[in-house]
């Protein structure tokens, strides 16, 4: 969506108030890569900022929840996230203004640091699986009701809602539903329960940045307290993570044996989400992944 002058004027006023000094927006330039939000680099006389804009009515509370997720990660003091400058609404627009991070390609050293720091973040635990608030995974609402174990949480708050949506959209058939029901019954025997870990929740290769200072930053979180294998599984789904990342993670916080055999299990959730968002191109991957465990 193009940025209108009244919105830019309002943003400039908010920045002036936030910095307690006059701030002038000199220009804005589009940033590629967002499928849900429009993204912009805001050039001001006080530096550059990352601006994300979407529809307040279509995605109520999305940026407030994203800001809360970033704050939750930041408060662990384990891994960097962009600083949140402002978030709010203007007419039907919601916006989130973030620190601008100049990026570079991941070096082996940066990948190692990312692995070690993610492992440190995963050591932050809670008493229950879930989170204090619901949030979003991509553009779909994500329920984070709390459960005592990962099996119950993964079924009730992750798979069942996505399967129901797939049926409602006529993307999944009755045999698919039966297979998922079999999985729900088998799930507790397929993995070892662990303490709830703070997870990013949407950790594909596009959701981290290596700054020009070599520091890794996590972006676009869908946080909850979950099983840490879920984060590691998502890193394998679309690529973008180097061998050094996995080696450093495993050295810092070893995973249970044969964790790689469960990546397709945990990736059923993001694949179902992609099926519901983008259609039958993901149906084969969902069925192939499911068939391994039923």
Q: Which residues are catalytic?
A: 202
Question: Which helix (H) or strand (E) element contains residue 289?
Answer: helix 283-291
Partners of 120 in the beta sheet?
A: none
Helix (H, G, I), strand (E, B) or coil at 49: strand
Residue 166's H or E segment, with its range, is: helix 160-168
- The whole-angstrom separation of Cα 174 and Cα 148 is 30
- Coil, helix or strand at residue 105: coil
Cα-based torsion angle of the residue sequence 174, 293, 161, 135 in order, rounded to the nearest 10 degrees: -160
Best CA proximity match to 16, nearest among 48, 49, 50, 46: 46
* Alpha-carbon dihedral 64, 145, 224, 189, rounded to 10 degrees: -160
**Using an 8 Å Cβ cutoff, are 220 and 136 in contact?**
no
């Amino acid at each position: 969506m193009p940025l209108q002058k009244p919105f830019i004027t309002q943003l400039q006023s908010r920045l002036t108030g936030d910095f307690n000094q006059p701030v002038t927006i000199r220009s804005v330039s589009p940033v590629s890569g967002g499928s849900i939000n429009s993204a912009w680099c805001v050039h001001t006389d006080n530096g550059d900022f990352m601006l994300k804009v979407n529809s307040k009515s279509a995605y109520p509370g999305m940026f407030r929840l994203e800001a809360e997720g970033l704050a939750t990660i930041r408060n662990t003091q384990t891994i960097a996230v962009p600083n949140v400058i402002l978030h709010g609404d203007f007419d039907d627009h919601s916006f989130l203004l973030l620190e601008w991070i100049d990026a570079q390609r991941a070096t082996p050293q940066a990948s190692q640091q990312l692995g070690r720091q993610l492992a440190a973040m995963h050591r932050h635990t809670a008493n229950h699986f879930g989170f204090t608030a619901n949030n979003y995974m991509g553009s779909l609402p994500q329920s984070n009701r709390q459960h005592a174990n990962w099996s119950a949480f993964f079924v009730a708050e992750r798979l069942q809602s996505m399967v129901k949506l797939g049926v409602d959209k006529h993307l999944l058939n009755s045999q698919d539903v039966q297979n998922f029901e079999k999985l729900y019954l088998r799930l507790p025997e397929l993995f070892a329960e662990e303490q709830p870990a703070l997870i990013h929740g949407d950790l594909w290769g596009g959701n981290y940045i290596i700054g020009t200072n070599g520091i890794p930053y996590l972006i676009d979180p869908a946080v909850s307290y979950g099983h840490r294998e879920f984060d590691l599984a998502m890193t394998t789904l679309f690529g973008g993570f180097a061998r050094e990342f996995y080696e450093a993670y495993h050295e810092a916080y070893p995973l249970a044996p044969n964790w790689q055999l469960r990546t397709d299990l945990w990736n059923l959730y993001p694949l179902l989400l992609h099926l519901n968002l983008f259609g039958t191109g993901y149906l084969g991957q969902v069925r192939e992944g499911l068939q391994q465990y039923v």
